[in-house]
């Protein structure tokens, strides 16, 4: 079964709609299959011992959630919560494991995908440990524009709450808010209500590079 075939399977399934804030699955659960995002965006996060929440990655259209746990036959280490209204479909693990066992191409394709995820995770580790909160905030804005685009007025299509931002960059919500204020004052970004737009990409890039 190729990726395209799998997509067909997934398209034929009845998909589930979720409202912003609803959970698709929670950390520690056993998953009976994987979830494929048809529309909207989900945050994949993990609770640390001290009660703080860390958003490890975001998943949007076409991306699959839960495959790591299903493949490793473990309970999931992450929670998936909708950050916008969503439509997801479910693919039972039996289909996954059957296809894995019988079709080497599929396995290799999944493998490539996971190799890619792993590289991204490595990059996140380096960013988290070597960059300042301001630099991480700047990267978050650029990442969101690159991956989810902006509207006709130049505001990010995917709007996260301040708390979500703080959970992405790994900082206190207050610090996050302060940095947003500072960036706005300096003209790096613009805001309108809770919408945020990039006003000066160059300045953000300079900040990331340490200038």
Interacting residues toward a copy of itself by CB under 8 A? 46, 48-50, 52, 54, 56, 67-69, 71-74, 77-78, 100-105, 107-108, 110-112, 114-119, 121-131, 169-170, 208-210
Q: In the bound complex, what is the minimum distance in angstroms from residue 128's beta carbon to DNA? A: 11
If binding is defined by CB under 7 A, does position 74 make contact with DNA? Answer: no
Positive or negative, the CA dihedral 199, 200, 206, 209 is: positive
Under a CB-based contact definition with an 8 Å cutoff, are residues 79 and 46 in contact? yes
Rg, Å, the chain Cα set: 18
Length of the chain: 211
Residues 6+ positions from 108 with CB-CB distance below 8 Å: none
Q: Per rule CB under 7 A, is residue 171 in the interface with DNA?
A: yes
Task: Tell me if 173 contacts DNA by CB under 7 A.
Answer: yes
Q: Where are the alpha helices (DSSP H) in the chain?
A: 3-12, 67-72, 93-102, 104-130, 133-148, 162-169, 173-185, 201-208
The reply to whether 124 sits near DNA by the rule CB under 7 A is no
Minimum distance between the CB of residue 14 and DNA, rounded to whole angstroms?
Answer: 26
Give the bridge partners for 64, in sequence order: 36
Query: Is residue 102 at the binding interface for DNA, with CB under 7 A as the rule?
Result: no
Of 146 and 185, the one with the shorter C-beta distance to DNA is 185
Segment interacting with DNA (CB under 7 A) among 24-32, 38-46, 65-73, 191-199: 191-199
Q: Find the part of the chain contacting DNA (CB under 7 A) among 26-34, 66-74, 97-105, 189-197.
A: 189-197
Spatial CB neighbours of 94, under 8 Å, sequence gap ≥ 6: 33
Residues that bind DNA (CB under 7 A): 132-134, 161-163, 170-175, 177-178, 180-181, 191, 193-194
């Amino acid at each position: 079964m190729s990726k395209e075939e799998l997509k067909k399977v997934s398209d034929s399934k009845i998909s589930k709609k979720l409202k912003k804030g609803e959970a698709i699955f929670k950390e520690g659960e056993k998953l009976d299959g994987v979830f494929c995002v048809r529309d909207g965006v989900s945050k994949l996060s993990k609770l640390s011992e001290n009660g703080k929440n860390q958003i490890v990655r975001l998943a949007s259209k076409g991306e699959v959630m839960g495959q790591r746990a299903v493949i490793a036959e473990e309970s999931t280490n992450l929670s998936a919560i909708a950050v916008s209204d969503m439509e997801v479909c479910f693919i039972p693990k039996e289909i996954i494991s059957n296809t894995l066992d019988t079709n080497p191409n599929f396995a290799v394709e999944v493998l490539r995908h996971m190799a890619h995820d792993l590289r991204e995770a490595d990059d996140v580790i380096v960013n988290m440990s070597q960059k300042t909160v301001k630099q991480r905030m700047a990267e978050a804005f650029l990442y969101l524009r690159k991956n989810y685009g902006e509207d006709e007025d130049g505001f990010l299509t995917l709007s996260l709450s301040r708390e979500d931002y703080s959970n992405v960059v790994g900082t206190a919500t207050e610090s996050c808010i302060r940095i947003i204020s500072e960036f706005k004052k300096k003209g790096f970004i613009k805001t309108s209500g809770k919408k945020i737009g990039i006003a000066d990409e160059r300045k953000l890039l300079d900040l990331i590079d340490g200038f």
